[in-house]
Structure 1
Amino acid sequence: MECAAKGLAAEPCAGGVADRRCGGCGAVAYCSRVHQIIHWRVHKEECERFAEQMRHINALSQFPFTFLEPPALNHEFPSARCLFLQSIKLHQKGLWKSECICGRDVAPLKGLSVEAEWNLQSSLCPCAEPKNPVSSALASWEAYYQWRSLPLHSPVAVLLHWPLTLYHCVQLSRTQTPRYDGQDTLCIHYLGPEKELLQLAAFGELRALFPSVQIHIELVGPEVPKSRDGEVVNISRYACCSDKSCCCKSSIGSKDLSCTAVTLKLWKGFYHERCSDILKDSVPQLIFAPNAGVAAYPSWMPTIEMIRQTGIPAIFTDFCEEAAHLASCCISSITGQPLKIPIQEVYLEIDLSRNGM
């Protein structure tokens, strides 16, 4: 760990590892007692909050998966993510390409996010209709894997955390009934997509999670390439497995868009810049912003104000509880109101760094 007082003290940090942890929270560390004392004027206001977060940090890491962390990094695979994918023979393959640090340029890869496959056997991925519809709201990865008859060593959660977190947030927003406003449709505005743009096929799983519902998702963000602005993507099947004889192959090449269950439209730019155009034809039941980093990016401020004016329910997620706390402070400051849904664990989110990587 890096010394928490780095840059605050006149004298530089002592050499070696900052292994002197705060006795109150255990969340921050220092290189020396002197630096710990200097940092206290900053840390004293956050120490109790950090201590509370540390008390249940293990719960955030208790995923049921059995796929293993990679061995030590080497010169060929300096990234833990790339090394992990190589260990399960998925590096630079299909939907997994954008998980690497080897390049994520989405502009020239139009269609890859829909046509790419799981590159896994049918027993390891959700490539076809579920055996049974969802009987009750799924609350954990273990429940999802059991419902989809997947073994816990299947890595598909790495890609499915986008649609499954979205599914969980729909439940939180209390729109979990199969009919929305008297119609079989669900409209969502999805803010700030990045590598999801190369993993859109994974959103086909929403067909199983919301059976008989036409789902319309507006993907809005500055990372959408200009060449893809306005592009409409129809997903009428699940991403295919690698088994040549699997039934999932029978739908390949289908041009019948009348059976499309998930429609995605891409918009380049910030939501507050494009909102007026989007709302002309698409009024959402939910606005969703995954891993938003609200406190880190001032560009969220006018977007949050715009959402406040519309009165549409919105859920933001972030990469850790402290980031969510800082985001909630920013949101409450802008809206002048406390959050209607308190900060909580989003049980269906996953980050490999939480799984020992």
Structure 2
Amino acid sequence: MDSLSSLASLTPEQFFGGVTKAGKALAAAEKKGNVPKTKNFDFSVQETCCVCQKNITPPLKVLRCSACRAPIYCGRECATKHWKYPPPQPPGSIPGPTHKELCPANKRHMERREYYDGVLQSFPWGRLESDATFSFDIARGRFGVFGGTGTGYWSHRGGPIPHSNRGVMESMLASSPYGATIMKAFAAFDHTDGADLLGTRHLTDVQGWKLEPVLIPYLNFPSADKRPALLKSTLDSWDEWYQWRKLSQESPAALLMSFPMTVYRLLVHCLEVTGPTQASANQRRALSVHLLGAEVELNYLPLFAELALLLPYLLPYHDIQLVVFGSGAETLIKAAKKKPSSLVAKSSLTTPVYE
């Protein structure tokens, strides 16, 4: 019960402030070239069995699938069970796949792990922990942009459960003797995804990114030297994007830009639904991109305008539309009814919230 009491008394200031303090301390130690090998500077995650959810601590040892090396188990019993059956799910949820079904895909992904680790470590802030994980929270803490409402594009719920839609967990907690305690902790971290869109003006680049000017990929260019060159070919790596955007890789912009860049790669490289020669003045092409289950994406919706820079050939002959679906969007629209002058309230099918 002590841990539950600690959870209930945890404040956003303690949570966000503690991680930010740790991130800045790590950055300062790295700058001096001396990062102590202590628990204070190891942000590994607690290894947990993917079947029974038991924390794996000594004398237990981690057991992995010998074929794909992906899932973590507390022992052979759970590993055998997962091969034949999906992990236990909360009442009312859809059963997931078995490990037998996932193993081949997991193996293909794990074979590329070294490559992805290399991409991450090409950034000064891309640190791998002792368990080979990367702490997204600590990375944001380094730059003082780990926070809830009011942290610009970085705003998010945070806390014990960072999702606004708790699904079947809501009903499970209602019947739990500790439900009220846990719900109290959730309430302390309340945040409306897309809250800045309830204002009457969009955030400026500086207000949204909350970084030093030299680290910001501007959309509204303060000077000609900040404007990227007109692209005549596709970009294939983060190195190319940073060079094109005239940014040092010290910038943590990739932490958020990975979302619009994923849409870019889907359109151009995976689905191949657009390209420099796929439309003309006589044959305009409409592209409608559906973003399903959006939550945190609503906080940095303007960043998807990067597509207009990445796909300059879209502008003359294409009409591209990003349509957002999800409970987060529904919550935002309901909140906008109380703010008729807000950006969201003034949007419609013909007037997008951002263009």
Please give the TM-score of this superposition, normalised by the length of structure 1: 0.52
Distance 1:122 1:15 in 2: 44
Bigger strand share: 1
Report what 2:143 is aligned to: 88
Tell me if structure 2 keeps the 8 A contact 1:5–1:30. Answer: yes
Distance 1:114 1:186 in 2: 26
Distance 2:104 2:128 in 1: 34
Report what 1:226 is aligned to: 333
Q: Deviations over 1:159-184 (max 9, x none)?
A: 21222111112213331227636466
After TM superposition, the runs of 4+ consecutive aligned structure 1 residues lying more than 6 A away are: 12-15
Distance 2:216 2:259 in 1: 15
1:2 pairs with 2:48? yes
Distance 1:66 1:44 in 2: 38
1:199 pairs with 2:255? no
Alignment of 1:153-192 (within 5 A): 153-172=250-269, 173-174=271-272, 175-177=274-276, 180=279, 182=281, 186-192=286-292
Tell me if structure 1 keeps the 8 A contact 2:195–2:299. Answer: no
1:20 pairs with 2:71? no
Report what 1:104 is aligned to: 191
One-letter amino acid matched to 2:217: P
Alignment of 1:1-357 (within 5 A): 1-4=47-50, 6=52, 16=58, 17-37=60-80, 39-42=82-85, 43-44=99-100, 46-63=102-119, 64-69=122-127, 81-92=136-147, 93-98=151-156, 100-101=158-159, 102-106=189-193, 109-111=196-198, 114-117=202-205, 118-127=209-218, 128=221, 130-172=227-269, 173-174=271-272, 175-177=274-276, 180=279, 182=281, 186-192=286-292, 193-211=294-312, 213=315, 215-224=320-329, 225-227=332-334, 228=336, 231-232=346-347, 264=352
Distance 1:39 1:154 in 2: 41
Distance 1:14 1:148 in 2: 44
Q: Secondary structure at the match of 1:98?
A: coil
Tell me if structure 1 keeps the 8 A contact 2:286–2:320. Answer: yes
Bigger helix share: 2
Distance 1:49 1:130 in 2: 40
Distance 2:254 2:125 in 1: 11
Percent identity of equivalent pairs: 23
Taking a change above 3 Å as real, the CA distance of residues 60 and 116 of structure 1, as seen in their structure-2 partners, is: same
Q: Deviations over 1:249-288 (max 9, x none)?
A: xxxxxxxxxxxxxx7459xxxxxxxxxxxxxxxxxxxxxx
Tell me if structure 2 keeps the 8 A contact 1:218–1:265. Answer: no
Tell me if structure 2 keeps the 8 A contact 1:94–1:116. Answer: no
Q: Secondary structure at the match of 1:198?
A: helix
Taking a change above 3 Å as real, the CA distance of residues 159 and 108 of structure 1, as seen in their structure-2 partners, is: closer
Q: Deviations over 1:170-211 (max 9, x none)?
A: 213331227636466653232222222121221232232122
Tell me if structure 1 keeps the 8 A contact 2:257–2:303. Answer: yes
Distance 2:104 2:71 in 1: 12
Distance 2:257 2:304 in 1: 8
User: Structure 1 residue 144: deviation in Å?
Assistant: 0.8
One-letter amino acid matched to 2:216: C
Q: Deviations over 1:63-94 (max 9, x none)?
A: 2322244999xxxxxxx545432321223432
Report what 2:169 is aligned to: none
Distance 1:171 1:52 in 2: 22
Taking a change above 3 Å as real, the CA distance of residues 166 and 68 of structure 1, as seen in their structure-2 partners, is: closer
Tell me if structure 2 keeps the 8 A contact 1:3–1:31. Answer: yes
Tell me if structure 1 keeps the 8 A contact 2:48–2:56. Answer: no
User: Structure 1 residue 107: deviation in Å?
Assistant: 6.6
Q: Deviations over 1:105-138 (max 9, x none)?
A: 1375435693153222332222126341113111
One-letter amino acid matched to 1:87: R
Q: Secondary structure at the match of 2:141?
A: helix
Distance 2:236 2:198 in 1: 32
Structure 1 residues not aligned, in runs of 5+: 73-79, 235-262, 267-357
Structure 2 residues not aligned, in runs of 5+: 1-46, 86-98, 160-188, 337-343
Tell me if structure 2 keeps the 8 A contact 1:70–1:84. Answer: no
More deviation, 83-92/196-205: 83-92
Q: Secondary structure at the match of 1:196?
A: helix
